[in-house]
Amino acid sequence: MGQAVKRGFKYRFYPTPEQAKLLHRTFGCVRLVWNMALAERIRRYKDEGLNTSYVDTARWLTEWKQDPELGFLREVSNVPLQQTLRAQQNAFTAFFAGRARYPRFKSKRKSRKSATFASNAFTFTGGALKLAKTTEPLAVVWHRPLPEGAQPSTVTVSQDAAGRWFVSVLVEDTITPLAPMDAMVGVDVGLENLVTLSTGEKVTNPWHERACRRKLARAQKALSRKAKGSANLAKAQLRVARIHARIADRRRDHLHKVTTRLVRENQALAIEDLTVRNMLNNHCLARAISDAAWSQLRSMLEYKTGWYGRQLLLVDRWFPSSKLCSTPGCSHINNTMPLNVRSWRCPLCGTLHDRDVNAATNILAAGLADR
């Protein structure tokens, strides 16, 4: 029996000049409302010691729209402005629960350009998606169908740094779990090999960023020579952003293929609970670790195992998976294990170990022991 989940489907679309102009104005208003609400929250707490709720911020929005100097807020749909206030309230809730850092102000240049429309601010009929304040449906490239009979609950429109427009449609979908199986696997993430499995299989790291490094360096060097505020600067920034977007697209596609195969072929997957953010403090390996995208890989495994009735087993990050001999009956642990040591022989039982396969085998055993 399938389980109902909220699932986002992301599509590329191509706005008309009028739609692009309205959406850019909406992005600006969303950013302004977020920043004004955040500033007032901070001032209110410091000066008056008062906490702020979504109802308070919604009242402020009504007052701001009556201000002649902020009359442009009435030119865009009110729903995305309300949605950004709800998102801010959720951000504060996550902060006070210890799940996220303190909400920050949005920068015009660095912040993500996006706006979320609730069901009362768009229409979706016959495959045509039309947003509030627009006269024509969006020219969406429906490269894969939505679930049959699905009705979107929210629609998020965004534009990335490379100038591409996307629409993310949130719908309720029914996902059927995969048939149970006996196979289980330990997964050891690495740099030279993206993942090494306890079965002995190794998936080579494609090094997407490294493959484009020379091209990216040339584009960034050209960018550094452009005059601030010039049209050539904007063009050079777009070239750099397009290279980054291509790298990210390739990396995400590869990770989806790897994680989907692992989930389909195994009932349980064991992986180390690494703190990648702390590992990025190692300046010698930070670039390579970022290119490998271990956090993204784990995130995909988490939601895919949840969807398809599989089990993800997390092993403590301090578990000596590489130093421990995986031979049954042997419990020898090496004192040190430098990264350049790729294979080693156990002095106790004499077994020759491949470092990564041995680690994956130990990770599986530790995950099953804690299950």
pLDDT in tens, 177-207: 999 999 999 999 999 999 999 999 999 999 9
Among the ranges given (12-26, 130-144, 271-285), the one the predictor scored with the smallest mean pLDDT? 271-285
Q: Map tokens 């299950």 to a residue.
A: 371
What's the mean pLDDT when you consider all of the chain? 95
State the pTM of this model: 0.89
Catalytic, 182? Answer no
pLDDT of 55 > 70? The answer is yes
Segment 300-345, tens digit of pLDDT: 999 999 999 999 999 999 999 999 999 999 989 999 999 899 999 9
Which is catalytic among the residues 173, 209, 291, 356? 356
Res 204: pLDDT: 95
What does the block give as tokens for 272?
């180390």
pLDDT of 4: 87
* Segment 97-125 mean pLDDT: 93
- Average pLDDT estimate for 227-237: 94
**Alpha-carbon dihedral 142, 148, 150, 156, rounded to 10 degrees:** -20
DSSP 319: S
pLDDT score of 33 more than 80: yes
> What is the predicted pLDDT for the residue at 216?
96
Q: Which of 173, 209, 272, 291 is catalytic?
A: 272
Long-range contacts formed by 85-89: CB under 8 A, 24+ apart: 85/33, 85/34, 85/37, 85/54, 85/57, 85/58, 85/61, 86/54, 87/34, 87/116, 88/34, 88/37, 88/38, 88/41, 88/57, 89/53, 89/54, 89/57
**356 has catalytic annotation:** yes
pLDDT tens per residue across span 163-178? 999 999 999 999 999 9
Residue 116, pLDDT > 90, answer: yes
Helices 213-224 and 231-265 pack at an angle, to 10 degrees, of 150
Using the predicted structure, report yes or no on whether residue 289 has a pLDDT greater than 70.
yes
Q: Is the pLDDT of residue 257 over 70?
A: yes
Query: What distance in Å separates the CA atoms of residue 89 and residue 175, rounded to the nearest whole number?
Result: 30
Average pLDDT of 342-349?
93
277/256: higher pLDDT: 256
DSSP 211-232: HTHHHHHHHHHHHHTSPTT-HH
The yes-or-no verdict on residue 277 having pLDDT over 70 is yes
pLDDT at 149: 86
Q: Please give the pLDDT value at position 1.
A: 64
Categorize the per-residue pLDDT at 350 as very low, low, confident or very high, splitting at 50, 70 and 90.
Answer: very high
Tell me how far apart the alpha carbons of residues 305 and 300 are, in angstroms, rounded to a whole number. Answer: 8
Residue-level length of the chain: 371
> Active site residue: 188, 209, 316, 354, which one?
188
What is the CA 65 to chain-centroid distance, rounded?
A: 34
63 a catalytic residue: no
DSSP code at position 74? G
63 torsion bin: left (phi>0), alpha (psi -120 to 50), beta (else): alpha
